[in-house]
Amino acid sequence: MKRTKQMRQSELKSTIEATPFITDETLANQFGVSIQTIRLDRMELSIPELRERIKSVATQEWNETVKALPIEEVIGEVVDLELDQRAISILDIKAEHVFSRNHIARGHHLFAQANSLAVAVIDEELALTAESRIRFMRQVKQGERVIAKAFVRGDDDKGRTLVDVHSFVENEEVFAGTFEMFRQQESKE
């Protein structure tokens, strides 16, 4: 059954509200229309492009700033942050992230995204990774968008903060890691 323009736009609006980081290309495939049609629909509905939606979500969600490292040193674009609670970053896999022969992302980029997010979520001036346990679930290819989500679990028996990071392409988990973070408490003199 072919959707009317009104039906498509209604479904488009609902889809973007539910998953604000969805790309126009993914929407075009999902609705069986061209990317240009999706862009025109978004314009008519006053829905901003992806980069603007990301900035909007980041502005609404951030209450604090990253302390443990400069925000520009986080691999990927941080779009959500609540220190000592949770964080989200997005990394678009480009040509510089992949092996030229097969266009598969080099694993150290996925690790770096997760590790830098684990550092960024710590509410201290100094946070270092003491140990990590990681798993790669599947290959990530050029053109895919990786969304990493970090959650602070709490402290372990060594006084280190445990941060779980799960990375997804669309809704499929591609990477998981647990990071034991050493944190340097500021001296209060």
pTM for the model stands at 0.66
Task: Give the integer Cα–Cα distance in Å for 65 and 118.
Answer: 14
- Residue 155: per-residue pLDDT: 86
Give CA torsion, residues 128, 70, 58, 140, to 10 deg: -60
**By C-alpha distance, which of 106, 81, 92, 90 is closest to 147?**
90
**90 and 156 both lie in a single domain:** yes
**What token pair was written down for 27?**
């929407």
The verdict on residue 88 lying in a domain is yes
At residue 185, the pLDDT reads: 62
Residue at 128 is within a domain: yes
Contact 165, 118 (CB under 8 A): yes
Please tell me the predicted confidence (pLDDT) of residue 48.
83
Beta strands in 101-144 (DSSP E): 126-136
State yes or no: pLDDT of 62 exceeds 50: no
Q: What is the CATH classification number for the domain harbouring 22? A: 1.10.10.10
Residues 13 and 81 in one domain: no
Overall number of domains in the chain: 2
189 is a domain residue = no
Q: Please indicate, yes or no, whether residues 37 and 20 belong to a single structural domain of this protein.
A: yes
Is residue 84 domain-resident? yes
Range of the domain at 23: 5-47
Neighbours of 20 (CB within 10 A): 15
